[in-house]
Amino acid sequence: MNSLNPIKYIVFFALVMLISCEDNYELVDEEIIISEPSQVDKTVLTGKIYNSDNDGVANAEILVSYNDSLIMFIADPNGNYSIELPKDGSRAIVQAKADDYMASGMHPIYLNTSSKASNIKLLHQEEVDYNDNIQELTSDSLATISGTILYSDGTPAIDAGIILIDFSSLIFISYSFTDGEGNYALASEPFENYGIFAYSECDGVEIIAESLTLSSEDIDLGTYSSNFSAIEKFTLSGTVTNCFTGEGIITGTVAVTFDGNSDYYPAEISPNGEYSIIAENCSGATCYNVTVSSPQLIEGNLVLTCEAITSEAMIGDYTLCGEEVIYDFDGIIEVVIEGDTLNYPLAQAELDENTNTWTLFGSSEDFKSGCFLITKATGIGIFDIEVFQVIENEEGLVQQFAGSGSPFKVEITEANERLIGSFYGDTFDVNGEIIPLTGTFDIKI
């Protein structure tokens, strides 16, 4: 049995939490906006503002047009941002700008899932062959581009990707997918010289429209007959059992791959051990490979090769064995947000004596939720926060960074055999109202 290095686990946990089903990053904005987790479904919009050198653009302004209002906030020194909006199925528009850069194009976002990512590239004037002024985002003119995609046999193209690109700067603007009837719709503010492409996971990219101009009127691009073919798909679902407990494993990943290509289809294991994967079989393979892993609990993976595809609904029940990971947790972190108390009973703390930096980490027992806190502190006293983040059900709930614009402090009252103290500060709800966040920690060093 092995004991896990606490700091390695903290880094692993942070990466897992910050990389969900859509691209995510270690992100922050000047005002951290949260919704009440028990009352409001939310879409967590995250992203990074970067330049042509792939460096983050410090303190870039992010504008969000939503529900007839315009929200403005500031990215952190690394260009990262995060904002929460109601998950109500409506559309929002995102734009970024910064000193010495041209304003970006418009990025439509559908608020229909729990998380969205929008990374925006900013360019200097001399980097583009485009001398007109780019329109800046306002909240009073949204229009929709719509159409229908067909397969080569004339049937509706289902789940085809639709990509909007600004030809003037070659910036990827937004994407959507066709529905069960092959229909799609993208919302945007007015633009000139954009293009729309259709994308198939198996058949590549085709252009639907180029040199497209959108004013305040909706555009129906009609029906586009593609060269795409229907993609062979199958589902793989089942339960993963923990070899040591005989029960469903509480966390981990099941992934499907195929020989001869790099396609990778992962699925997170739910706390009862169940999982479900939709795999796209572009090559028409007759078998697939499976990898089952749970690095938080068991060292070593279960790998099965060339499992025969016998139906469109495959069942795969697995038992994961290996070397059990043993944790030495003795502590707890408690967070209180507007009266809601979040407890993380699997807590650890470690001091980097070279930099006088404390790293505190707390997790729920199923590793799906947690928080981590980093502060530079010398002994007993009140210190500034470096990083603080709360994750609930693998979604960002609160993020706070040094210099984010809101005061946030850590008070250490004991640092001998146990690290004991509290943290407190202000954050913001979806209406921009300041709300308090407090917490305590008591952890064996």
State the pLDDT at residue 334: 94
d(CA 363, CA 10): 10
Please state the rounded mean pLDDT for residues 33-60. 71
Of 33-42, 48-57, 167-176, the range with the highest mean pLDDT is 48-57
Beta bridge partners of 42: 86
pLDDT 10s digits, 315-330: 999 999 999 988 778 9
Please state the rounded mean pLDDT for residues 353-372. 88
Counting residues of the chain whose pLDDT is more than 90, the rounded percentage is: 30
pLDDT 10s digits, 424-440: 987 655 455 667 889 99
Please state the rounded mean pLDDT for residues 290-306. 94
Please state the rounded mean pLDDT for residues 230-234. 89
Model confidence at 361: pLDDT above 60: yes
State the pLDDT at residue 402: 62
Helix, strand or coil for residue 133? coil
Model confidence at 6: pLDDT above 60: no
Please state the rounded mean pLDDT for residues 238-249. 95
Q: Could you tell me where the beta strands, DSSP code E, fall in 281-417?
A: 287-294, 298-308, 313-315, 318-320, 323-326, 331-337, 340-344, 346-352, 357-363, 370-376, 381-392, 395-401, 408-415
- Lookup result for tokens 């941002």: 81
> β-pairing, 191-200 with 204-214?
antiparallel
Of 76-85, 179-188, 222-231, the range with the highest mean pLDDT is 222-231
Higher pLDDT, 195 or 148: 148
The answer to whether the Cα torsion of 213, 216, 217, 219 is positive or negative is positive
b/e per residue 71-96 (b: at least 16 CB within 10 A):
bebbbbebbbbbbbbbbeebbbbbbb
Q: For the chain, what is the mean pLDDT?
A: 78
